[in-house]
Amino acid sequence: DTEVTQTPKHLVMGMTNKKSLKCEQHMGHRAMYWYKQKAKKPPELMFVYSYEKLSINESVPSRFSPECPNSSLLNLHLHALQPEDSALYLCASSRGVQSNEKLFFGSGTQLSVL
């Protein structure tokens, strides 16, 4: 199994809603990532988890709250988002954070904030 599975594939939410994005991998990877990608732009790193501990937060607003319940799961909790937060949210994983580790990306959640 070399897949990173993200759910849901699409999400539409209002600015007052609370929702969560989910990411799962069963490759035994110990590093997991959240990226945000706007249309026609490259992905931007949001968070890095290493061994279930948050190691990097790229100055992401607190309306995005990551959670890593175990080594296979990564969640992104969303609350009080803005329309400009609409984007493709990508989860990725790697065996570790060492130099030549390949990143495996999920297919993403396309988020629209109304």
Partner 1 sequence: KNQVEQSPQSLIILEGKNCTLQCNYTVSPFSNLRWYKQDTGRGPVSLTIMTFSENTKSNGRYTATLDADTKQSSLHITASQLSDSASYICVVRVRGGYNKLIFGAGTRLAVHP
Instruction: Give the residues lining the site for partner 1 (CB under 8 A).
Output: 4, 6, 31, 33, 40-45, 48, 50, 55-56, 88, 90-92, 94, 97-108, 110
Structure token pair of residue 4: 């990173």
Task: Give the containing element (helix H, strand E) for 20.
Answer: strand 18-25
Q: How far is the CB of 16 from partner 1 (least distance, A)?
A: 27
Cβ contacts of residue 58 below 8 Å, gap of 6+?
Answer: 44, 45, 46, 47
Q: How far is the CB of 68 from partner 1 (least distance, A)?
A: 15
Q: How far is the CB of 25 from partner 1 (least distance, A)?
A: 12
Nearer residue to partner 1 within complex by CB, 22 or 63: 22
Residue 23 and residue 105 in contact, taking contact as beta carbons nearer than 8 Å: no
Q: What whole-number distance in Å separates Cα of residue 86 and Cα of residue 52? A: 27
Nearer residue to partner 1 within complex by CB, 70 or 99: 99
